[in-house]
Amino acid sequence: MKSPGDKTELEERVTIEKSLVNTDKGDIAAVDLSLLPKIGDTVNGFYRIVEQIGTGGMSVVFKAEHLAMRKFVAIKYLAEAIAQDPIAVQRFQTEAQALGALDHPTIAAVLDFGVDQERDLPYLIMEYLEGQTLAELIQINGSLPPTDARDIAIQLADALAHAHDRKVIHRDLKPSNIIVQSVETQKAALDTVPVSAGD
C-alpha cells in the first residue's frame, strides 16, 4: 500500500499534463525567447514576423505576413526548452494533425505545420484573428451584457462540441484564450491550439 505522500499514476499523469499546457502570466518569464525569430525576421522564406502576440508556458505566438499572399497568419512556436523533448515535438505535430480535421467557423484554422530551418524549432501556422481577448474585453468594460455573454457562450459550446465530436479537447479554455471579433464578423473564436484527446 502506498503512503499518503506517494503519487498515484493518475496524479503523476495530471502533473505532467499540467506542465505541458499553456499557463497564465506566472510562467511567462520561464520561456526562453533567445532562439525565436525577432520582429522583421523571415521564416523559411515565406513568412515575415510582424509582432509577438502571445506567450505561455508551452509556446510563443507571433503575427506574421505570408510574403507571397500578403496575408497575415499566426505562427505558434513550441517553446525552446520543450522543443528539445522529442515526445513534446511529436505531441505538437499530433496536435497539428488533429486540428487539421477541424472545420468550424469559430475555431482558428491550422493551415500548416513545419520546422523553422534556421532555428530548428517546430511551429504551427494558424489563421490570424483580429479582435480582443474575452479577458481584455471584461477588463475594459466590466461584466458583459447578458445577451453578449449568452451569444459568446453559445458559439463556444458549438465550437467545443465540434472539436469533441472529433476527439479533440482544448484543455486550456479561459477568457485570455478566446478572441472576440467585431459584430461584422459575428465570431468568437478559440485562439490557442487544442490538444488531441488521445494525448
Task: Indicate which residues carry an active-site annotation.
Answer: 172
Q: State the Rg of the chain over Cα.
A: 18
CA distance 156 to 29: 30
Q: With CA atoms as reference, report the closest residue to 47 among 16, 79, 71.
A: 71
The C-alpha cell at 146 is: 447578458
> 188 forms bridges with which residues in the sheet?
180
Nearest to 79 by CA among 117, 29, 147: 29
Burial of 168 (0-12, 13-18, 19+ CB in 10 A): buried
Dist CA 73 CA 65 (whole Å): 6
Number of neighbours of residue 22 by Cβ within 10 angstroms: 22
